[in-house]
Amino acid sequence: MKYDFDHVIVGRSIDSLKWGKVERMFGRKDVIPMWIADMDFPVARPITEALKRRIEHEIYSYTFPSLSLIEAVVDRMQRKYDWKIEPEWVVFAPGVTPAIHAAVKAFTCPGDDVIVQEPVYYPFFPAIRNNGCHIANNQLRLINGHYEIDFDELEGKFNPKAGMMSLPSRARMMILCSPHNPVGRVWTREELIRMGEIILRNNAVMVSDEIHCELLFKGSTHIPFASISKEFEQYSMICMAPSKTFNLAGLHASSIIIPNDELRSKFVEASDGIVPSVNILGLTAMEAAYRNGDGWLEQLLSYLQGNLEFLMQYLKERIPKIKAIKPEGTYLVWLDCRELGLNPMSLRAFMKEKARVGLDDGFLFGSSGGGFQRINIACPRSILEEALERIEKAVNDY
């Protein structure tokens, strides 16, 4: 069936963190919220129909993932990525973020370093700190509008030099954001192999957040880190979910793929008592999305491509002081606002009070994010256009 992504939903603020708490988040009611990573589009019809059928059953007891759902996950990995996984590798969690918290607890010891690549999805930071570990930043390098990995520095993060008074911490784990949020990189096979070889040499674990893996722009191909080789599989935990792809964030369902038996056992043990099981409707929606949602997804990707092209052209022609780092994946765009000459807090106030657009502040993603903002373009084009017009007017007035 044909979906209308231009349609603006009436009453979209009901129970929505994005729309229902605008005044609380930004201090005024007239802000367009474009910060949190969910979409302003109705979900695919097969998903809503599956949820209705489950609700009509009228018994909402404790539940478990069905064999049919596990088969749907296994089949999707094969169809999308030519990656053959075994059913027993799949563990379900109520979200990628709680799974990463459990992973840090499972695979590290207090005092260890955990490597991330800033600017990066900021919930990684408390997952590391709250488990008594230290953040080791392999900062991405912005070169001619394109973010790249400093592989020499990455290797060095696993082998830091001892300080004058203490021995260096040990990096036992790396959290990879793939595709990368917020800079939109989709890592190439060559980049993934180089990272993987460093992981193997240092007997570490790669926890790969691949929640945006199906949200790709033209010319990009996602490769699950663990799919590259059997060796990589044994040092990997791959986190996926339908929540970003199919706009199901409120149903809290993700699939965590851990091929190594020992790592999987440690993860399950660390999750016990702190990571709840996935609810009935989350499991139902996941299976419906994976089995019957691709028609909707194909139309979504086409619409997002149009939104991206509209944004890039608008900025180039009408707000040249703000430059978009063109994403290869995700529906999030990293905006370089440094030419405005505002410090991070002034830039936050400028967007909120002058432009009346609620974006995600770049500094939240790490110190290198100062002067940047993240915008969510997964909305009807009329909303995106209005937001850009507001930013344009604010820049011109400034």
The secondary structure of 124-164 as a DSSP string is HHHHHHTTT-EEEE---EEETTEEE--HHHHHHHHSPPP-S
206 in Cβ contact with 236 (< 8 Å): yes
- In which residue ranges of the chain is pLDDT below 70? 11, 13, 160-169
Structure confidence at residue 169 (pLDDT): 59
Cα first-last separation, the chain: 46
Structure confidence at residue 11 (pLDDT): 66
Q: How far apart are CA 306 and CA 381, in angstroms?
A: 9
pTM above 0.85, yes or no: yes
Q: How far apart are CA 46 and CA 292, in angstroms?
A: 6
Structure confidence at residue 166 (pLDDT): 47
**Pairing, β 134-137 against β 113-116:** parallel
DSSP 110: T
Based on its alpha-carbon atoms, the radius of gyration of the chain, rounded to whole angstroms, reads 21
Structure confidence at residue 52 (pLDDT): 98
Provide φ and ψ at 323, rounded to 5°: -115, 130
Q: Show Cβ contacts of residue 331 under 8 Å, excluding neighbours closer than 6 positions.
A: 37, 39, 215, 244, 304, 307, 376, 377, 378
Q: How far apart are CA 289 and CA 303, in angstroms?
A: 18
Chain region(s) in the chain for CATH 3.90.1150.10: 17-44+294-397
Q: Which of 134, 165, 171, 167 lies closest to 153 in space, CA to CA? A: 171
CA-based diameter of the chain, in Å? 67
Structure confidence at residue 14 (pLDDT): 73
- The one-letter amino acid code at 159 reads N
CATH architecture of 58-292: 3-Layer(aba) Sandwich (3.40)
Structure confidence at residue 165 (pLDDT): 43
**Pairing, β 360-361 against β 372-376:** antiparallel
Q: Which one is the CATH code of 17-44+294-397: 3.40.50.1970, 3.30.70.1400, 3.90.1150.10, 3.40.1170.60?
A: 3.90.1150.10
Per-residue CA distances from 170 to 63, 101, 136, 157, 358 (Å): 40, 19, 10, 9, 39
Chain region(s) in the chain for CATH 3.40.640.10: 58-292
77 in Cβ contact with 222 (< 8 Å): no
Q: How far apart are CA 172 and CA 158, in angstroms?
A: 8
Q: How far apart are CA 218 and CA 220, in angstroms?
A: 6
Structure confidence at residue 9 (pLDDT): 87
